[in-house]
Structure 1
Amino acid sequence: MQSDQRERFLSHTERTYFFESALKFMEKERDYRGHTNDHGWAHAIAHGSDFLGAGLQDPLFPKSQIEEALQIIPLIISRVEKRFSDDEEQRIASAYVGGLAASNIKETDFIVFSKATNQQIWQQFNFESNISFYRLDTWLQIMQSLFFLLPNRFFILKSLLEKQIKDYYSQMGE
């Protein structure tokens, strides 16, 4: 898809297929492993994030699918049962940084999304549940990656992320 951005060669139908495939892959993927001793790199979430990121950076990515793309983050988090171990959160964040930098995702829309996701994850948090903590930690890692990867021109979003990150540490007693 990145080559197609430099010199358009995909048809509209082919490009649409790739955009939709990136979204569907992330929505359907259930394999959250990173590196395995038996098979090497499984890393489906990281590679799927790269695929989605290539789509989100494309100026022809349909604006009508941005909301669907945003909802992938809470969907992934809702399926976490143990911590990611191979920087998957950075790859997830990177996909959205690309979409923001390409102006396909509006900063104001991502701010609304981030506030809602943060609130939802905290509402579901339970100090007695390891899975609940892993999900909250995944969100924290995504927020931290977003904060450090975003260009400074997204200062309003970065300020929100900084606040949400500090709130995490405050609420966790650190």
Structure 2
Amino acid sequence: MDLKLALEKLNLNDRQGDLDHLINNMLQQIGSTDPVLRDDLIYSTFGKLVMMDFLNKEQLTHLLNVCLDQDHLFYEMGERETDSDFTRSFSVLVVALVVEKDRSSRFLKKEQIEASIEGSIRFLQEEQDTRGFVASKGWAHSIAHGADALAEVIKHPLFDRKKRFECLDAIQECLFKEGTYVDDEEERLLFAIEALLEKGMKEERLSKWLTSLSDNLEALFEVERYSVQFFHKKGNVLSFLKSCYFRLVIRDTCSNARRVIEDVVEKWTRKIYLGD
């Protein structure tokens, strides 16, 4: 039976047939360019299978291992604006699902969690396709989906807090990639920042990192000056900082970090628009 039709007719509470076969078929087509099949059916079904306890430990582990492999999470990594992005983007979403489930059920081995952490960080570092919504093909959204996975692995009990530096570096790399974020990517990246704070990251560390964003923007400006590429990256960084500011206000925390953001935003407003 055609996968789309099979998923449309699927009744998980009265399921007939081979679930393992269905999972593998879904994995093979996880990067379909049909947005209904990919997003509404395959990903939605994976969400139900994982979170509603339809899969056993072996099936969950298999699902994670496949999504982390070179043919899924890192499939044609480095390409921009090609259909390979859909495979990477929706594979990383499934990684997030399985890791989230493991936080409550704890069925994964330590090395599998470590592979998920490493894979999520590497994914955001190496992904070059920054598109959000793609006409006729639906959501690509690799950066946002990668941010979701990063937030989930940070929340996991086995997350090594020493990895926080790599996580911050990965987020920074995302802010300086080619392209302008227009579909709330910076908002999704902030969930990882919040997760790091919940895991005990000190405000001083956050403040230093926020300052480094401005320092790197300054270095970029010295090279690219008033180019379109510079303005796109400046826009990404400042949009992220402004969103970060209000998230910290809402949480009523990190007053010093908020002052750093105020200073950075004022600096760049004066530098670009007031000629200071």
Q: Map of 1:44-123 to 2, 5 A cutoff?
A: 44-80=142-178, 82-103=179-200, 105-123=201-219
Alignment gaps of 5+ in structure 2: 1-98
Describe the shift of the 1:59–1:166 C-alpha distance in structure 2 as closer, same or farther (beyond 3 A): farther
Alpha-carbon separation, structure 2, partners of 1:111 and 1:170: 21
Contact 2:155–2:195, Cα closer than 8 Å, also in 1: yes
* CA displacement, residues 78-112 of structure 1 (integer Å, 9 cap, x when unaligned): 322x3112111111122212211232x32211211
Measured after TM superposition, the shift of residue 35 of structure 1 is 0.2
Alpha-carbon separation, structure 2, partners of 1:65 and 1:160: 24
- Of structures 1 and 2, the one scoring higher in RCO (CA 8 A, sep 6+) is 1
% identical equivalent positions: 25
2:122 pairs with one of 19, 24, 42 = 24
Q: TM-score, normalised by structure 1?
A: 0.89
Q: TM-score, normalised by structure 2?
A: 0.58
Measured after TM superposition, the shift of residue 38 of structure 1 is 2.8
Number of matched residues?
172
Q: What is the root-mean-square deviation in Å for CA atoms of aligned residues?
A: 1.7
Q: Considering only CA atoms, is the larger Rg found in Structure 1 or Structure 2?
A: 2
Alignment gaps of 5+ in structure 1: none
Contact 2:130–2:181, Cα closer than 8 Å, also in 1: yes
Q: Which sits farther off after the overlay, 155-164 or 12-21?
A: 155-164
Contact 2:133–2:141, Cα closer than 8 Å, also in 1: yes
Describe the shift of the 1:50–1:146 C-alpha distance in structure 2 as closer, same or farther (beyond 3 A): same
